[in-house]
Amino acid sequence: MQSDTLIPHLFRTEYSKLVSVLTRSFGIEHIEIAEDIASETFLIALNTWPYKGQPANPTAWLYTVAKNRIKNHFVRNRIFKTKISQKVRDEKIPDEIDIDFSANAIADSQLQMLFTVCHPSISTEAQICLALRILCGLGLAEIADALLSNKETVHKRLQRAREKLRSEQITLEILDSKVIKERLETVLQTIYLVFSEGYYSERNNSIVRKDLCIEALNLTYLLLGNELTNTHATNALLSLLCFQSSRLEARTSEDGNLILYDDQDRKLWDKEFIEKGFYYLQQASKWEITSPYYLEASIAYWHTVDNTNTAKWPSILKLYDALSSIHPSPIGALNRIWALSKVHGNAAAIQAAESLHLQTNHFYFVLLAELYTQIDSSLSVSYLKKALTLCKTDTEKKMIQEEIRKRTVSV
């Protein structure tokens, strides 16, 4: 892997590990310094590897450089040294910084960080911003898009959250049942947002960002590795992410164009992910509760079933009905309309769709265009043109423009 692709990849996988371990070692009050050191480490890699070549073990190289940056910080800032290095009893700078980057230490640090940034003293919005920034390495623009906000708002939330962590003297805690009960829902929501940003990115023209999907999967696996966070909702979320991940390779063409579900090559679907999705769905069913993630995972399961199965769309529609009753959302409502069209026909689906009044959502007009294809081709094209004005990504704009061209020719 070339440096221009390896370094961004490692930033996604190692940034959160560096920040979590450093913060665990020096205290949450120094989280910004940990972030700075982690960022400096990758900047050094960016300025070194393309010219001197990649190290034999890039990850170990990053950890070593991070330790050296900490040592440099001791030298530059004696106040910082005094505050955090009680283990260092004299003025001598240690030759080796005692930072544990073992696999167990990294996993424990990330898990503790995940629940610490979701502390109840911080607003839910700020919790999610902080988790996306620290544990997933997302930039301000990426977080803003994921939360349908703007960079300025995200920046302010991050600053307030960091200050709150300091002022409340919050520490990275050993997890217990009380902490998990208070914060797990926010943790899972954050992971789902990360995956969603990777599965469909409105900021990047590549539209599918597999690195974010992988990061979300890794964080969920991390939760399952602890018996206290191995819950119904966690298993259900991992099931959902596995089912969705099974179609990642089939969602885009070689030239980066989006391929819709009905047009995907099923041979490209990852059977191993589908099997894992079904396994974790079964695990989640052992609890006598039903979370939104469980319903969404069940819907995702049915999408892996062949269209010749007559139970497919009625089952999906029933699941969407159940989901809308406990967790209504615009996207869920639109997806339900598509299932409704498969069961009761386009006329019934059009009536239900028009009652939603989602005129600011380009998916709404794409759906109406599809439903009107066999009923009124001119109106179908008109809806596609409306969708085009609302669409944010070049990839989707190109797809919609091609559909307009095809349907205009046919008219």
pTM: 0.80
Q: What is the pLDDT of residue 359?
A: 87
Least confident span in 98-107, 183-192, 371-380: 98-107
Please check whether residue 294 lies inside any domain of the structure. Answer: no
- 338, part of any domain: yes
Do 378 and 400 belong together in one domain?
Answer: yes
Residue 304 neighbours by CB under 8 Å, 6+ apart: 243, 246, 269, 274, 277
> Do 343 and 381 sit in the same domain of this protein?
no
Indicate whether 257 belongs to any domain: no
Asked whether residue 383 is domain-assigned, the answer is yes
**pLDDT at residue 218 is higher than 70:** yes
Q: How many domains does the chain have?
A: 2
Answer whether residue 205 shows pLDDT above 80.
no
User: Nearest 5 degrees, angle CA 182-CA 188-CA 192?
Assistant: 155
pLDDT classification of 319: cutoffs 50, 70, 90: very high
106 assigned to some structural domain:
no
Range of 333's domain?
306-350
Q: What is the DSSP string of 100-120?
A: --SHHHHHHHHHHHHHHTT-T
Task: Identify whether residues 322 and 340 lie together within a single domain.
Answer: yes
Which residues touch 275 (CB under 8 Å, ≥6 apart)?
Answer: none
Residue 188 lies in a domain: no
Distance CA 1, CA 49 (A): 12
**Bridge partners of 29?**
none
Classify residue 245: in a domain, yes or no.
no
d(CA 393, CA 202): 6
Shared-domain flag, residues 364 and 411: yes
Phi and psi for 207 in degrees, rounded to 5?
60, -40
* Residues 380 and 346 both lie in one domain: no
Tell me: do 367 and 410 sit in the same domain. yes
Predicted confidence at residue 112, as pLDDT, reads 87
pLDDT of res. 268: 92
Residue 36 domain-assigned?
A: no
Q: 49-82: per-residue pLDDT in tens?
A: 988 888 999 999 999 888 888 877 766 665 555 5
